[in-house]
Amino acid sequence: MALISVGLTHEGADLELLDRMTVLEHHWAKVVRALVSHRNISEAVFISTCLRTEVVAVADRFHDALDDIVATLSLVTEVDRSEFEDHVSVHFDRGVATYLFEVAAGLKSVVPGEHEVLGQLRRALDLAVDERTAGPQLQALVTHALSAGRRVRHDTAIARGTTSFAHAAVETAFDFLGTDEGVDVLVVGAGQLGAGVVKNVVADSRFSRVLVANRTRSRAEGLREEVRDERVEVVDFDDVDALAARARVTFICAELAEPVITLHSLGSSSQPRLLVDLAVPRGVERGANDLPGVTRVDLQTMRQRVDAALDDRRGALEDARVIVREEVDRYVDEQRARGASGVVSSLRGRFDDIVATEWERRRSDLEGLDEETRALVDSLVRGVVAKIAHRPTVVLKESAGTDPGARLADATRQLFDL
């Protein structure tokens, strides 16, 4: 059984393709069930965010698994595989661990060190566990990745400064507004990203009102209670289009099946407005930048802004990579040691089964033995078997955690049909 990861990210695909390949979170369960319905895939975790649509799986055969995963992504996104399969990134075995640990550490994010990815990975694993598509192998992998991500943020300066889309988005709004005060802000979405935007916004006094809209109104109200700022108001999600026409700054931070802000509404006012569109897919109808007074920025703009802000954190990025390498080595060693322990246990069990089977098969031939003699023969047989098993057991344990040890474990499984 081998690890494989297949996905599309901002590093290999443009934003338009990523938009089309995004799967809203309430459909993730359907995706993991579809993945494990393939005979070749025994475990699967799926995550789809604004800049990442990814599958991590345990499979029997690499090439068959790759084909099954690509076919499933095509099915659930309704995007023909010919349009995206040349853009997928693929990792195998140890490469999966290295890649996933880098993702958890924030090294693969547009904003290195951002925190949101840890919550996304946690939710993806929890859902896969609930759907029984994540078994021991993927649970161990993702759990260790999350631990590595937390260590990176604790032990390095990677999380200093601009560390999230929320932070970068609000800084963009500050630049747009200049010295203006008494500004109304609309935030669409009260999830992790929307909550981050609201918390960054209320930290600045120039905003007079912060309107929060979410499909589930109670979630927006819960965010208002958490923030405890009298400027925060909860508004109806159905009013977003009209409110965006009047707000100086609008942040769209939600998963959306279609744009919620239209050109028709935006065209009703000519006052300067900023639309920070972090929605997946896009939250603003195409062509907004052509309207008088309207400025729309998207994830690509955020990427450029963050790149400029990272100059003082280059050393922290390398420190983070060192930690990732250490944690990957530790994970691989643990898995190999656990695998060797399982092989040793299975090998001893197989030998015990052989002895028991032979005793049963020769029962009639040994009926004349008294109890003392029978016990002596049994002890002799088991002693011989134990001596035969001793050297393989020692070598397997001593070589656990090494490449030769992994090959020995595989060979033992094949030789003894474990």
* Residue 221 token pair: 């109200």
Single-letter amino acid code for the residue at 14:
D
Of 312 and 205, the one with more pLDDT: 205
Q: Is the peptide bond before 281 cis (omega within 30 degrees of 0)?
A: yes
Q: Which of 177, 151, 193 lies closest to 272, judged by CA?
A: 177
Q: Is 50 assigned a catalytic role? A: yes
Q: What is the pLDDT of residue 240?
A: 94
CATH superfamily of 165-309: NAD(P)-binding Rossmann-like Domain (3.40.50.720)
Is residue 2 predicted with pLDDT exceeding 60?
A: yes
Task: Report the pLDDT value the prediction gives residue 306, as an integer from 0 to 100.
Answer: 67
Task: Name the more confident of 279 and 313.
Answer: 279
Of the residues 6, 8, 32, 50, only one is catalytic, namely 50
Residue 212 in this model has a pLDDT that exceeds 80: yes
CATH entry 3.10.50.40 includes domain 2-159: no
Region of poorest pLDDT, from 33-37, 121-125, 325-329, 379-383: 379-383
State pLDDT tens for residues 97-141: 999 999 999 888 877 777 778 888 999 999 999 999 999 889 999
pLDDT band at 162 (very low <50, low <70, confident <90, very high): low
Rg of the chain taking only CA atoms, in angstroms: 28
pLDDT in tens, 12-56: 888 778 878 888 888 999 999 999 999 999 999 999 876 789 999
Enumerate residues 6+ apart whose C-beta is below 8 A from 39.
none
CA dihedral 110, 114, 118, 119 (to 10 degrees): -100
pLDDT at 61 over 60: yes
Q: Within 131-280, where are the H helices?
A: 136-155, 165-177, 192-201, 217-227, 240-244, 263-266
- The per-residue pLDDT for 378 is 82
> Which residue, among 280, 272, 268, has the nearest Cα to 296 in the 3D structure?
272
Q: Which two tokens stand for residue 128?
A: 């896969």
Residue indicated by tokens 């935030």:
187
Average pLDDT, rounded, for the chain: 86
Q: Would you state the pLDDT for residue 311?
A: 64
**Is residue 400 scored above 70 in pLDDT?**
no
Predicted TM-score (pTM) of this structure: 0.65
The conformation of residue 255, written as its DSSP 8-state character, comes to B
Neighbours of 414 (CB within 10 A): 9
Q: How many CB atoms lie within 10 A of CB 139?
A: 15
Please tell me the total number of residues recorded for the chain in this structure: 418
Q: Where are the domains of the chain?
A: 2-159, 165-309, 344-416
pLDDT bracket for residue 402 (50, 70, 90)? low
Contacts from 91-95 at CB under 8 Å and sequence distance 24+?
91/4, 91/5, 92/2, 92/3, 92/4, 92/62, 93/2, 93/3, 94/328, 94/332, 95/5
pLDDT digits (tens, 9 = 90+) for 24-33: 888 999 999 9
How far apart CA 291 and CA 183 sit, in angstroms, is: 21
Are the C-beta atoms of 65 and 41 separated by less than 8 Å? yes
